[in-house]
């Protein structure tokens, strides 16, 4: 088992915090979660949480899949 040093653990975000980071409504994150299309999330009890690293990875993947636009 690989343990990260103290202070370097992935930061956990609530759905509201994740929505703020992604600049999208909470309802959109809930919809994506329902459709299994959004960033990776998980439950701890009744709470839905997101790892900051997973959000950044998802953002990067969206950017890579994006069709280039002309300015």
Tell me the per-residue pLDDT of 15-48, one tens digit each, with 9 for 90 and over: 999 999 999 999 999 999 999 999 999 999 999 9
Q: Indicate if the pLDDT at residue 1 is higher than 50.
A: no
Per-residue pLDDT, 3:
53
Tell me the per-residue pLDDT of 2-18, one tens digit each, with 9 for 90 and over: 455 556 656 999 999 99
Q: Is the dihedral of CA 29, 14, 6, 1 positive or negative?
A: negative
Per-residue pLDDT, 15:
95
CA distance 25 to 16: 8
Per-residue pLDDT, 67:
75
């Amino acid at each position: 088992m690989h343990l990260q040093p103290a202070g370097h653990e992935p930061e956990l975000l609530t759905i509201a915090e994740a929505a703020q980071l992604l600049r999208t409504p909470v309802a959109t994150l809930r919809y994506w979660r329902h459709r299994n299309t959004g960033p990776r999330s998980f439950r701890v009890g009744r709470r839905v949480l997101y790892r900051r690293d997973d959000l950044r990875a998802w953002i990067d993947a969206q950017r890579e899949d994006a069709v280039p636009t002309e300015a």
